[in-house]
């Protein structure tokens, strides 16, 4: 056809601007969707993209994709995209709408996602009347996973999990989500539409447009349920499955508007402005100590810190407190820290241990499976963890003699009767702090001021605070004495 002839025609229906020109998926197939031939999702995608175009909101639309066949909304829609955990779309959409009130947040969910695993989320989002739009695509079955029965499966409909057909006695009745939600006071607009024939598709187009428009006007919660064909799982041709929507599915799920409060609804008030990031420490009553930040910057310049510490002992020895003081001191010095306690259900007298990480870098995991410092407060704890210490690491052991069968020549060992030493200082209970003092000498990177501040925060009693300070400096001394001799 010549270009002259084309110049006499103008495009009235073509690819929506809200779709990408090419989809960032498998190289061979970037010009077509992943949907099966005749899939209803393709049509719903198209109607939604059209509504976004018509309302001129492409630049501020955020689409929340579901788990299911339509998980890949981000391949196709040239808008903001987030993919939520199974069924949690309304919760994610709520958070985004509240934090970005100018954004148009559209949730796209299937019937497995919305009416089964996510039934609680949708119920409460609707009840709160969140100013979001939900497109609920109902094909009465779990398609992506191969055709198991969903809450929306029709009575008598066969599926892989209802081979004899769904029975009300064993599987209950089809869940009418739109009717259910329409009984609530929160929603503004709920309509069920179908893709069963041309007329139904035209109505679906209008309904989806309206549901998005309600949000643009700030009116509140809108949900459009779309009865959608699934030719593959229903084992029908595309055309037959379209007819099945109209002739069979619609009998169980009548089309229509179930709730329409758009006329009387007032634009919802915006949520209160969240506090600024700077104001949060004051609200949480946290002292903002810039000097700590500064000193941490200085630390970073001098020596990288990456501690993997495991502290183990029996309950009551102060295992967890030792770790906590270390972690707090790291926090005080502006490091990244984690402290993960681990103890048995017996609480007292059982064994307990904790994982402590201190690092200049972001901490990937709070678990310490291969410590570079092990603090073992008794023999069973030593035997439990000694093999896990990294070569070149340290074992600080509470005992005069280190068990000969635990000796490794690739780790450093400091074995002293710490409990006894603490007893001489004033109380055996300060043994953990003597060990911490030794540990701090090994780590040798935390400023004393950070440790003092951490200790003051965790040990409120003055008497114990003073004893612990004494114990810490004794620990440091013992370490220096032990390793100067060598």
Partner 1 sequence: MTDAVKRDRGLLKIDDQECKGCGLCVEACPPRVIALGEHLNHYGYRTAVYAGTGCTGCGICFMACPEPGAITVMRAVANRAAAAAIMSTGQEGSPSCASN
Instruction: Enumerate binding residues for partner 1 (CB under 8 A).
Output: 4-17, 19, 31-33, 35-43, 45-47, 49-50, 53-54, 76, 198, 201-202, 205-206, 231, 237-239, 242
Cβ 202 to partner 1 shortest distance, Å: 5
Cβ 130 to partner 1 shortest distance, Å: 28
Orientation angle between helical segments 198-216 and 40-55, nearest 10 degrees: 40
Are 106 and 135 in contact, with CB atoms under 8 Å apart?
yes
Cβ 236 to partner 1 shortest distance, Å: 11
By C-beta, is 31 or 251 nearer to partner 1? 31
By C-beta, is 42 or 174 nearer to partner 1? 42
Are 382 and 404 in contact, with CB atoms under 8 Å apart?
no
Cβ 222 to partner 1 shortest distance, Å: 19
* Number of C-beta neighbours around residue 188 at 10 A: 24
By C-beta, is 42 or 187 nearer to partner 1? 42
Are 87 and 26 in contact, with CB atoms under 8 Å apart?
no
User: What stretches of 305-427 adopt beta strand conformation (E)?
Assistant: 306-314, 336-343, 351-359, 373-376, 394-398, 412-416
Close Cβ partners of 307 (under 8 Å, ≥ 6 residues apart) = 330, 356, 357, 358, 359, 372, 373, 443
By C-beta, is 16 or 438 nearer to partner 1? 16
Q: Quick one: tokens of 108?
A: 């796209």
Number of C-alpha atoms within 13 angstroms, CB side, residue 176?
A: 18
* Number of C-beta neighbours around residue 12 at 10 A: 5
Question: To which residue do tokens 């007893």 refer?
Answer: 423
Rg of the chain, C-alpha, whole Å: 32
By C-beta, is 52 or 358 nearer to partner 1? 52
Q: How far apart (Å, rounded) are the C-alpha atoms in residues 477 and 206?
A: 80
Collapsed DSSP state (helix, strand, coil) of residue 271:
coil
Cβ 49 to partner 1 shortest distance, Å: 7
Close Cβ partners of 93 (under 8 Å, ≥ 6 residues apart) = 64, 84, 105, 106, 107, 125, 130, 132, 134
By C-beta, is 42 or 112 nearer to partner 1? 42
By C-beta, is 13 or 251 nearer to partner 1? 13
By C-beta, is 198 or 291 nearer to partner 1? 198
Collapsed DSSP state (helix, strand, coil) of residue 226:
strand
Cβ 352 to partner 1 shortest distance, Å: 59
Cβ 112 to partner 1 shortest distance, Å: 20
Cβ 190 to partner 1 shortest distance, Å: 22
By C-beta, is 7 or 484 nearer to partner 1? 7
Cβ 81 to partner 1 shortest distance, Å: 16
Q: What is the SS3 assignment for 109-156?
A: EEHHHHHHHCHHHHHHHHHHCCCCEEEEEECCCECCCCCECCCCCCCC
Q: Quick one: tokens of 445?
A: 């990177």
Are 372 and 308 in contact, with CB atoms under 8 Å apart?
yes
Cβ 193 to partner 1 shortest distance, Å: 13
Q: Quick one: tokens of 224?
A: 């459009």
Cβ 237 to partner 1 shortest distance, Å: 7
By C-beta, is 239 or 297 nearer to partner 1? 239
Q: How far apart (Å, rounded) are the C-alpha atoms in residues 206 and 218?
A: 18
Greatest alpha-carbon pair distance for the chain in Å reads 103
Q: Quick one: tokens of 60?
A: 């501020």
By C-beta, is 237 or 369 nearer to partner 1? 237
């Amino acid at each position: 056809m010549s270009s002259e002839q084309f110049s006499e025609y103008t495009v009235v229906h073509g690819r929506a601007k809200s779709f990408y020109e090419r989809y960032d998926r498998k190289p061979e197939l970037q010009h077509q969707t992943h949907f099966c031939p005749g899939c209803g999702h393709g049509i719903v995608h198209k109607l939604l993209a059209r509504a976004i175009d018509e309302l001129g909101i492409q630049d501020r639309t955020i689409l929340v994709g579901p788990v299911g066949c339509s998980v890949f909304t981000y391949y196709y829609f040239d808008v903001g995209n987030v993919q939520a955990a199974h069924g949690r779309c309304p919760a994610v959409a709520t958070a985004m709408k509240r934090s970005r009130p100018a954004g148009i947040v559209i949730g796209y969910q299937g019937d497995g996602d919305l009416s089964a695993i996510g039934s609680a989320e949708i119920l409460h989002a609707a009840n709160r009347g969140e100013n979001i739009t939900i497109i609920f695509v109902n094909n009465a079955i779990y398609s992506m996973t191969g055709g198991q029965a969903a809450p929306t499966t029709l009575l008598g409909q066969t599926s892989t999990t209802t081979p004899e057909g769904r029975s009300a006695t064993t599987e209950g009745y089809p869940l009418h989500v739109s009717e259910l939600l329409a009984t609530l006071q929160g929603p503004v607009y709920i309509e069920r539409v179908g893709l069963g024939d041309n007329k139904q598709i035209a109505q679906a187009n209008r309904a989806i447009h309206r549901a998005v428009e309600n949000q643009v006007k700030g009116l509140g919660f809108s949900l459009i349920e779309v009865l959608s064909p699934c030719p593959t799982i229903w084992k029908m041709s595309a055309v037959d499955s379209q007819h099945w929507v109209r002739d069979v599915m619609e009998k169980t799920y009548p089309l229509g508007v179930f709730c329409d409060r758009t006329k009387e609804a007032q634009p919802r008030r915006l949520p209160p402005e969240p506090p600024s990031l700077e104001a949060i420490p004051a609200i949480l009553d946290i002292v903002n100590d810039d000097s700590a930040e500064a000193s941490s910057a200085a630390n970073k310049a001098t020596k990288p810190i990456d501690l993997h510490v495991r502290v183990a002992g029996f309950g009551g020895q102060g295992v967890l407190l030792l770790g906590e003081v270390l972690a707090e001191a790291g926090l005080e010095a502006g490091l990244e820290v984690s402290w993960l306690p681990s103890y048995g259900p017996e609480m007292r007298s059982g064994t307990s241990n904790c994982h402590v990480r201190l690092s200049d870098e972001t901490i990937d995991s709070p678990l310490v499976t291969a410590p570079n410092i092990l603090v073992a407060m008794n023999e069973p704890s030593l035997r439990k963890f000694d093999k896990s210490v990294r070569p070149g690491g340290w074992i600080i052991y509470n005992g005069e003699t280190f068990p000969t069968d635990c000796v490794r020549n690739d780790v450093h060992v400091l074995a002293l009767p710490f409990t006894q030493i603490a007893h001489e200082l004033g109380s055996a209970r300060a043994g953990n702090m003597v060990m911490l003092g030794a540990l701090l000498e090994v780590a040798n990177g935390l400023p004393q001021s950070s440790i003092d501040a951490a200790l003051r925060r965790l040990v409120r009693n003055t008497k114990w605070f003073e004893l612990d300070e004494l114990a810490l400096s004794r620990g440091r001394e013992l370490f220096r004495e032990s390793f100067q001799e060598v």
